[in-house]
Each structure stands twice: as structure tokens, then as C-alpha cells.
Amino acid sequence: MEGSVLKTLTHRVTVACLLLFLSACSIQDTRQPESTATVTPAAELLPPASELEADRPLGPPVDLWDRIRRQLVMHTLHNARIGAAREHYLKQSRYFELIEPRAARYLYHLVEEVEARDMPIEIAMLPLVESALNPFAISNQSAAGLWQIMPGTADYLGMRRDWWFDARLDIRESTTHALDYLESLNADFDGDWLLALAAYNSGKGRVNRAITRNKNKGLATDYWSLELPRETRRYVPRLIALSTIVAFSEALEVALPDVPNTPSFAAIETGGQIEMLRAAELAGVDLIELRSFNPGQLRWATAPQGDGKILVPVSVADPLERALSELPDSERVTWQHYRIRRGDSLIRIAKNFDTQVGLLREVNNLRGNLIRAGDTLMIPDSAAWQASLALSQRGSTGVRRGYTVRSGDSLYVIAQRFDITIDEIISWNDLDPDRYLQPGQALTLFLGGD
């Protein structure tokens, strides 16, 4: 017993020394040019695993973070850039608290998919860097979803994007395509995951050009030696910093939220197009919760084409699938096609079909009131369209709000004031975090999204 306690104390002291060592390395590395940045492996400073675990055999993971922690491979890497990235997260005292609801919904699926491909488990945490685990996140440059996939990349990967559905926002489809892309990049860079991650952020061509420049100068061609955009120089260190924080959360006094090591959602068959509100009612869940699992569904009803599945909380999956299989056509979305006549207006057509102009605009993708004789309008025939339309337009990203930077504001101050993360503010506004905010600067925030 005494020996076990002594070993535990020795381990904690050693970890504390390791972290002090990492801090010292951070100070030393700042004096070096970035092109000569080195990575300090610190694994030898830890007691051998056999000594640590001799009296403490590993059982099942306590939670999802524990499952991740056991598989980390980048957590012992360190240099000045990684140290700065670690401080970026540590100074956000509520960072993990704020992402807890999203981690509970999405992180298990990410871990499962990454493990199935035998990729470094850190890849499952990449959406924390990309979007703070917000599948509704859309940057000012139109990168979207958990994995922040650009429209051009989505087209290259063959991802569906139309009026009804955006695969970049869909939890399963975006993850599948992002991991496919990362595996492809890893192969292109001969198994170097750091270069693959850099290419995911800034583009394969940009990384290859940086490698060519260094080769022509007789310089090293590893990630740390390349001249890359500022965002990409921060990108990989942030993922490694998260790995370090999860690995040494206790020593760093970071309280990781409880995230169950169990699936949070299941995919079920809808049996045809259905209003999201009707599905929520049958499931006994709030529409906003249902939408949080189905961010790729862009409209008030499920997409008419596709695999015919939606994601729902595990607890309601079986009864909801049974209810949907028994749902009569009269309670599903059906359509009438109306050929516009001379003299028609949206107001007159809406009145004739007991609907609203706003719904006609919504389902026919009309921006104004202009319609032309001879064109055809799609008119949904369903019972609860008014409530469905109103609620679907609320979304799950939160209320969009403009904010004007005040004197004394910083990213940290604004994040604390509105219970959001610094990374979210940066993503929503395409900010350079190394530049100070200016009084009068306009920002866009999405509040109350969880």
C-alpha cells in the first residue's frame, strides 16, 4: 500500500517536473528562429509504464476523455509554438465547460471513426481546433461544419450541397469525407501527419511549394522548418497542445467535463420526407435538440433525396423508428405543383392554398414577390407547416448578433462576457488572433446556440 502511494506521488511529481521542463523549453525556443524550431520528446522523463501500472491494472475507460488519453501519440512533443498554443487554451478557464454539450453529442462518433481507420487519436480532436465542435459554424470565408470544409474542397470530395442539404454540416458525412481527405493527404506526404494536417489547413499545393523552397535552399523539410501561413503555423501546435492538456489535465488543473464513453445518437429510417417538427413531436424531444443532431438538414422538412435517415438521441431511436414506420401519408410532406397563371400573385396563391407567402418563398427559393406566368410552384400540403417553418428558421447556431468592439475589449474579455470561446469568435469573423481588436470594429456573434 505504502509503495503504491509512493509511486503515485512520484508520478505526480515527475509530471509536474515535466511541465516545468516544457515551460523552460518554451522560453528557450522563443530565442530560436522558427525555421530551426525543434520538437523536444519528453517521454523519457516519465516513469516507465510498467512501473506506473504494475499496481493499477487498466480497466475499461472511465469516460471518453480517458479513452482518448490512453491512445495519445503527440502529447509529449513540445517547442515554443506548442507552448504558446497550450497557453491559448489554458487562459480560457471555461473552454472545456463551454464545449461540453457538443462533446457529449459528437465526440464519441469522431473517436469511433478515427479508431476504425487506425489514425492518430488526436485527429478526433481536430474539430475542437477547427470549429470548437460546432457543426453549424460557418466562417466568413464559407468554411462550414465541424471540420470547416470549404465549398471548393467539398466539390472536390463529391459532397452534396443543395437547397435542402449540406453534407459539410452533416455529422456523419462531413466526418467520413474529412477523414478520407486526411488519409489521402497523409499518403501524399509519405505518412507525415504534421504535414498532412498543415495541408488540410492551407492546401496541399501550398505545403508542397514550401517543401520545394526549402529543398532548393538545402533546408529541412519537416513541418516545423517550413515557411507557411501564420494560421497554419498555429494550427498544428494547437492540436498538439490539446493532446498535452488531455494527457496531463490533472497536473495542469484542467477539469475535463464528464463525457460518457457511449454513443449519443443513432440513425433511423424516416420512411419518406417528413417535417422536422413532426419528427421531434413523435420522438418527444425539442426541435432544437433534433436539429443539433441533423445540422445538414437545411429546411423545415428533411431532404426529399438522400439516404432517408435522420439522427436522433439513442434513448428515443427505437420507438421513433416504429412510429415513423406507421405514420400515414397524410402526416408526411406531400406536394402540389401549381402552374402560375397570368394575373397571379404570391398573396393570391397563398390564400387559395391556405398557406403563407413566406412558406412559398421558402420552398421555392424565391427572394422577392416576382413570379412569372407559366412557371411552376411547389406547394407543400402538410398539417403543421406554419410551426415547422417558424421553428426551423430559428436554427441551432444561436441568435446572430452584431457587436461593436469597445475600448478595453479583447478576445478573452468578449468570450467571457458572452459565454463563448475565443476560437468561435475568431472563426465567425476570420480574425487574426495576433492582432489587437480596435474600438469600433464590428464583430458577428452567435449566442445561445447550445
Per-residue model confidence (pLDDT) at position 394 = 46
Report the alpha-carbon distance of residue 371 to residue 364 in Å, rounded. 11
Segments in the chain below pLDDT 70: 1-57, 381-400, 427, 432-434, 448-450
| pLDDT on residue 18 | 56
The pLDDT of residue 189: 98
All cell numbers assigned to 129: 481546433
CB atoms within 10 A of CB 126: 25
The answer to whether 142 touches 151, Cβ cutoff 8 Å, is yes
Q: In the prediction, which pLDDT does 105 show?
A: 96
Distance CA 254, CA 19 (A): 14
Query: What pLDDT sits at residue 417?
Result: 79
Backbone angles phi, psi at 29, to 5 degrees: -65, -25
Per-residue model confidence (pLDDT) at position 6:
44
Rounded distance between C-alpha atoms, residue 241 and residue 398, angstroms? 28
Residue 150, classed as helix, strand or coil, is coil
- Fill in the amino acid letter for 203: G
- Cα-Cα-Cα-Cα dihedral sign, residues 417, 418, 420, 425: negative
What's the N-to-C CA distance of the chain in angstroms?
45
Helix (H) / strand (E) containing 246: helix 230-247
Q: How far apart are CA 192 and CA 195, in angstroms?
A: 6
Location of C-alpha cell 491494472: 57
* Cα Rg, the chain, nearest whole Å: 25
Backbone angles phi, psi at 143, to 5 degrees: -70, 140
- The per-residue pLDDT of the chain, averaged, comes to 83
| CB 41, CB 77: distance < 8 Å | yes
% of the chain residues with pLDDT over 70: 81
From the centroid of its chain, how far is CA 352?
A: 44
Report the sign of the C-alpha dihedral through residues 133, 137, 143, 144, in that order.
positive
Residue 298 and residue 275: Cα distance in Å, rounded?
Answer: 12
d(CA 350, CA 190) in angstroms, rounded, equals 60
Tell me if 185 sits within 8 A of 126, measured CB to CB.
Answer: no
The grid coordinates of residue 333 equal 410532406
The pLDDT score that the predictor gives to residue 406 is 86
Whole-prediction pTM: 0.78
What pLDDT, on a 0 to 100 scale, did the predictor assign at position 4?
46
Active site residue 362: no
CA-based angle 170:172:169, to the nearest 5?
A: 15
Q: Which of 122, 130, 362, 424 is catalytic?
A: 130
SS3 403: strand
User: 40-69 b/e with 16+ CB inside 10 Å = b?
Assistant: bebeeeeeeeeeeeeeeeeeeeeebbbbbb
Cell numbers at 250, concatenated: 490533472
The pLDDT score that the predictor gives to residue 40 is: 55
